[in-house]
Structure 1
């Protein structure tokens, strides 16, 4: 028996509108990278393996949810199930099979967006400017004192 097969489409949960997924990938580029991992993949039994070959697929499914907060309310934008896949081909002495092992992960990936206020932005900006000013002052002081010390040594004065 030849257990060669092609996986045309494999997904879990509700289908997500492709336009919404494209819009979300602009802000979250890592979203959906393992969404269609097995789509259009062919698992063909080459002749070097022989006749009785078992093809096994190990899939771990993880729920991913994107939540935004606007005006104190939470809105769920996307709820999808991503999966990782690993396939192996082994020689068997019994009946060959094509196996799919599913493992539902108890973990969930939760992506939240917390908008910051204008006062938070201004506070961070002031902290950055103050930090740059302080570091520039320290470097200027070290540079100035080093030059003064070099001049004293050159003139032969006691330190």
Structure 2
């Protein structure tokens, strides 16, 4: 028995709109790499493997949320389930099957965008200027002491 198959679409949760995904990619380019990972993949049992081959898919699923905060309101931008997939072929003496093993993670990834205020920017600029001024004073003091001796 040959259980070759093609996975045309495989996902968890609600479908993410392309416009929303492009907004998320702009903010976080690394998110969504495992989204639709199995789509379009084919698992073909070639004749050199033999008959009665079980094809097993191992999937680990993690919920990921991206939240943006604008002032005091909080807006959920995206909620998706990302997964990692590993497939293997194994010879069996029993009836061959196509197995999907799911491991739902008890952990959740939550990515939050916190905009910084203008006063935070001014404080950082003052800290940088103060640090440069302090280092310049230390260097000036060291050079002044070494020239006198």
Once the 2 structures are TM-superposed, how far is the Cα of residue 135 of structure 1 from its aligned partner? 2.1
For residues 50 and 143 of structure 1, do their structure 2 counterparts lie closer, same or farther at Cα, with a shift above 3 Å needed? farther
What is the rounded CA distance, in whole Å, between the counterparts of 1:100 and 1:73 in structure 2?
40
1:48 aligned residue: 48
Report which of the two has the higher share of helix: 1
Secondary structure at the residue paired with 1:26?
helix
What secondary structure, in the 3-state scheme, does the structure 2 residue paired with 1:105 have? strand
Answer with 1 or 2: which has the greater Rg: 1
Q: CA deviation at 1:112?
A: 0.8
Please give the alpha-carbon distance, in whole angstroms, between the structure 2 residues aligned to 1:103 and 1:74.
Answer: 30
Q: TM-score, normalised by structure 1?
A: 0.87
Tell me the residue number matched to 1:7. 7
Q: Gaps spanning 5+ residues in structure 2: where?
A: none
CA distance in 1, matches of 2:113, 2:84: 25
Pick closer, same or farther for the CA change 1:139–1:90 going to 2, 3 Å.
Answer: farther
Structure 1: 5+ residue runs without aligned partners? 153-159
Query: Which residues in structure 2 correspond to 1:97-116 (within 5 Å)?
Result: 97-116=97-116
**Structure 1 residue 131: deviation in Å?**
1.2
Change (3 A) 1:47 1:137: farther
Partner of 2:37: 37
The equivalent of 1:63 in structure 2 is: 63
Distance 1:124 1:142 in 2: 27
Q: For the aligned residues, what is the CA RMSD?
A: 1.5
Q: 1:10-159 counterparts in 2 under 5 A?
A: 10-146=10-146, 148=147
Match of 1:155 in 2: none
CA distance in 2, matches of 1:144, 1:39: 69
Q: CA deviation at 1:24?
A: 1.2
Structure 1: 4+ residue segments shifted above 3 A: 139-146
1:119 counterpart SS class = helix
1:54-100 residue CA offsets vs partner (Å, 9 max, x unmatched): 11001111111111112211111111111111111111111111100
